[in-house]
Amino acid sequence: MTTFNNVGSMVLFEIKETASDKKAPFKTNSTVVATGTLSTGIATVRVESQTGTPAMTSTSSAHSHSHSPIVRAADEDKPPMEYAKPKLERDLGTIRVTFDKRVKEKVPYNMDGEMEGVAMTMISMGTSATNTVQLERCISTVRNNGGWGGPIFIITDGMYPRYQEVTTMYPNTFMIVVGKSLFNNEMTGFFRKLKFKRFKTQLNDFITSFDTSVTIANYTDETILNSDVISPIETIVYMDMDIVMAASIDPFLHFIHHLKVKVRDFIENEQQVCASNTRNAKTERKTPSYAIMFQDISSPLHSGVFVTDTKESNDCLALWRELMDKRELAYDQQTLKQLIELGSPPCDQRCAMVRMERWKEFFIFPTKKFMENGQLAPFVHITNNARAKSIPEEVQIDYFNNTLGLPVELYGVGTF
């Protein structure tokens, strides 16, 4: 059962530690207004009015699909956020980010400032995707469970009425309809999935050229080339549409905001060393591009969730697209492995991919037990061709209903 408390006062988010669990990395006034089980322990929320009287409570159960919106306390009421200190190092051609849970780092909390210039986006193309409710399910959880009120861009291949309804239902949601001229039509047969996944490499171009005075726009080559939009978007968070958001997105965005600074400093220090090297002293250097991804289970990088900077990630995205267009490998994550092998890091590398360990407070590949226990994380990657088929449908339905508060029409179970 998930309990939602909604009052206009300060929200205190506490992580309770169990004997078998390590303490979660965050302890702060939180935007999450829910009681549930985190991947590392029990998350409880105590909400009190300014006079200390108990708050009113509403409950989501098997017979109720009501979902209270997330309430954010004012930033000035929030203490610094504390999390496990990230460590950056070179590994497998990437900048690897690991977390030392023994050392905590406090960072001032300025969520309003850290949300400025951020957009989220998903891609839904082809009948195997657009005939399901996965996109609607994804956006519903981002808005209601993740508490994200900033811009969301749907990238799709048709004027689907259902998707148009989503842009009406959720303000600040936009729809980019990709024209035929932008597809690589040589990607057929064995490479047919790359035809759609290739657009992951064009997120920066699509979103920064979008005129938000309209809600829906048809895109061609000319749309991007002739755009005179001065976009305020600096950071783009991409997520596959078979992901659900089961916890507040705020801690992740807060962390990414500060990680980007650390990554820039790390790359700058590397380049200073390269420039001082006699062999490279007379070589004109260009600072490498970067993008941020989680580590995958079976390969270095996972492309289901990633973060780009609209100015500093473009070379990485262009190189990734070039490798896809060669049609040597059929999957986008295989081409990412090729990408990190290009050049000799750090001095001869155009793209320095950032590889975060799959920190379970942010990103989870769910199991049957995870769902049965009603556990939470911002990104829960169900995955159409794996967990969506291996986890019993009744377990998924119970999780969608009792933990996420989704209406029946958005479960999407058995439609993969």
Q: Which residues contact 161 (CB under 8 A, 6 or more apart)?
A: none
Q: What integer is the mean pLDDT of 96-101?
A: 88
d(CA 66, CA 80): 32
- 34 assigned to some structural domain: yes
Query: Angle at Cα 365 formed by Cα 359 and Cα 370, nearest 5°?
Result: 100
pTM: 0.80
Of 400, 231, 249, 233, which Cα lies nearest the Cα of 308?
233
pLDDT tens column, 251-262: 899 889 989 999
pLDDT tens column, 111-162: 666 778 999 999 999 988 899 999 999 999 999 999 999 999 999 999 999 9
- 343 assigned to some structural domain: no
pLDDT of residue 52: 32
- 117 assigned to some structural domain: no
- Burial environment of residue 82 by CB neighbours within 10 A (0 to 12, 13 to 18, 19 or more): middle
pLDDT tens column, 300-346: 899 999 999 999 999 999 999 999 998 888 678 889 988 998 877 88
Per-residue pLDDT for 67 more than 60? no
Which tops the pLDDT comparison, 285 or 98?
98
d(CA 112, CA 51): 26
Report the chain's mean pLDDT, rounded to a whole number: 79
Percent of the chain with pLDDT over 90: 49
Banded pLDDT at 6 (limits 50, 70, 90): very low
pLDDT of residue 285: 61
pLDDT tens column, 245-295: 999 998 899 889 989 999 999 999 999 888 887 565 555 667 889 999 999
Exposure string of 347-383, with b = 16+ CB inside 10 Å and e = fewer, is bebebbbbbbebbebbbbbbeeebbeebbbbbbbbbb
Per-residue pLDDT for 9 more than 80? no
DSSP per-residue codes, 201-232: GGHHHHHHT--TTSSEEEE-HHHHHT------
DSSP state of 404: T
- 9 assigned to some structural domain: yes
Query: Residue 28's domain spans which residues?
Result: 2-82
Q: Alpha helices of 89-244 — where are they, by DSSP H?
A: 111-115, 127-130, 134-144, 161-169, 194-197, 203-208, 221-225
d(CA 349, CA 319): 11
CA distances 224 to 167, 202, 235, 300, 375, Å, are: 22, 10, 18, 32, 41
Banded pLDDT at 44 (limits 50, 70, 90): very low
pLDDT tens column, 180-198: 989 888 888 777 788 899 9
**DSSP strand E in 261-412: where?**
292-294, 302-309, 354-356, 363-364, 375-376, 379-381
Q: Alpha helices of 187-346 — where are they, by DSSP H?
A: 194-197, 203-208, 221-225, 250-276, 314-325, 332-340
What's the total number of domains in the chain?
1
DSSP state of 348: B
d(CA 104, CA 81): 10
Hey, what are 327's tokens?
Answer: 């049609």
Which tops the pLDDT comparison, 80 or 389?
389
pLDDT of residue 415: 55
- 296 assigned to some structural domain: no
DSSP state of 401: I
Q: Which residues contact 280 (CB under 8 A, 6 or more apart)?
A: 274, 347
- 155 assigned to some structural domain: no
CA dihedral 298, 303, 305, 309 (to 10 degrees): 130
CB count within 10 Å of CB 168 equals 9
CA dihedral 82, 88, 94, 98 (to 10 degrees): -50
- 70 assigned to some structural domain: yes
pLDDT of residue 269: 93
Hey, what are 120's tokens?
Answer: 């989220």
pLDDT of residue 207: 97
